Amino acid sequence: MARTLPGTALAMVLAMALTMALTVSSACAAAWTERGVASGGLHGVLTLPDVEARGSGVLILAGSGPVDRDGNLPGLMNNSLKFLAHALAERGIVSLRVDKRGVGSSAAAGGREEDLRFGTFVDDAAAWSAVLKREGRVERLVLLGHSEGALVATLVAQRIRPAGLVLLAGAGEPASAVIERQLKAAGAPERLQERSREIVRSLMRGEAVTDVPAELAPLYRSSVQNYLMSWLPLDPARELARTDCPILIVQGTSDLQVSVEDARRLHAARPSSRLEIVETMNHVLKDAPSERATNLATYRDPDRPLSSPLVPAIERFVR
């Protein structure tokens, strides 16, 4: 027969069980709700804190390529922007994160790649800004752009003057310089680096390039050259100097794609901006070493949390 536990021991077991149940219940109970939002054939997700109060609303804009609203690329799920939206909601901040035209739930609105221009994403982000401002609980609009989305947010800020602008891992130099250093960091052969520079010079003159090496086709295929011609002349620092709103610039020291020097260049363009350097944070906003292989492994780790100083820095600025 099983022995009966003495009263004290039984009480301890019951107390532990109750504590565990409450902990699990608390962990499972989200401090926010989400609902889908559609506008002009594009789709996003609005994250609303459970606390019913008016305050800031953050429009989250993803980076270059087929990055979806959660910060994921095909085969590279890291959930960085999803985690960011949920963390802001836990702090009482509304956010809207969106699938870009041609990506995720907005794939059907993509159209032909040949017709895409950088300004298309700026127009779309401006339209999403209006959607978020109409949300009853939003009284202050903050634009937050990650990576290439930082430049998109900057150009939108020139149009609408938001309550704040957050540039998260945003380049401080034109795309031509960013591409050049990324090819070098990736160990591309010198002949390809030189050919890339030649192609960029042609595109900057508005001249299409037909003889693109196969290794560079993902960057310079003919269908994307019109987009590149609209993007390459833009200087993020020069564009930022044309804005007139409070600015937060956040950059991680383990970012393989954008450097601390980029952040400092942006800060120099608007010296009144707030600059936050996050030690060991990489491009997908996770803590990682600077060693390339281990760093890149975090791009496909959907469970790794955000770097801990990131959200408090954004919250302080947004509030």
Gap between the Cα atoms of 250 and 142, Å rounded: 15
Q: Which of 158-167, 182-191, 247-256 has the lowest mean pLDDT?
A: 182-191
Q: Under 8 Å CB-to-CB from 16, ≥6 apart: which residues?
A: none
Kindly report, residue by residue over 70-86, the tens digit of the pLDDT.
999 999 999 999 999 99
Kindly report, residue by residue over 139-153, the tens digit of the pLDDT.
999 999 999 999 999
- Quote the pTM value: 0.86
Q: Report the DSSP pairing between strands 55-61 and 94-98.
A: parallel
Confidence of residue 276 (pLDDT cuts 50, 70, 90): very high
- As beta bridge partners, residue 33 has 48
Q: Which residue has the tokens 């944070």?
A: 281
Residue 7 has pLDDT above 60, yes or no: no
Cβ density class 246-281: b for 16+ within 10 Å, e for less: bbbbbbbebbbbbbeebbbbbbebbeebbbbebeeb
Mean of pLDDT over the chain: 89
Q: What is the DSSP letter of 214?
A: G
Treating both helix axes as pointing N-terminal to C-terminal, what angle do 148-160 and 118-133 enclose, rounded to 10 degrees? Answer: 60
Gap between the Cα atoms of 42 and 110, Å rounded: 9
The two structure tokens encoding residue 231: 């993007």
User: Which domains occur in the chain, in start order?
Assistant: 32-173+235-318 (3.40.50.1820), 175-233 (no CATH)
Q: Average pLDDT in the 176-186 region?
A: 87
Residue 39 has pLDDT above 60, yes or no: yes
Quick one: which of 58, 51, 16, 44 has its CA closest to 30? Answer: 51
Residue 268 has pLDDT above 60, yes or no: yes
Predicted pLDDT of residue 6? 40
Q: Average pLDDT in the 36-61 region?
A: 92
As a whole number of Å, the end-to-end CA separation of the chain is 62
Instruction: Sheet containing 94-98: give its strands across.
Output: 32-39, 42-49, 94-98, 55-61, 138-146, 164-168, 247-252, 274-278
Beta strands in 207-266, from DSSP E residues, in sequence order = 247-252
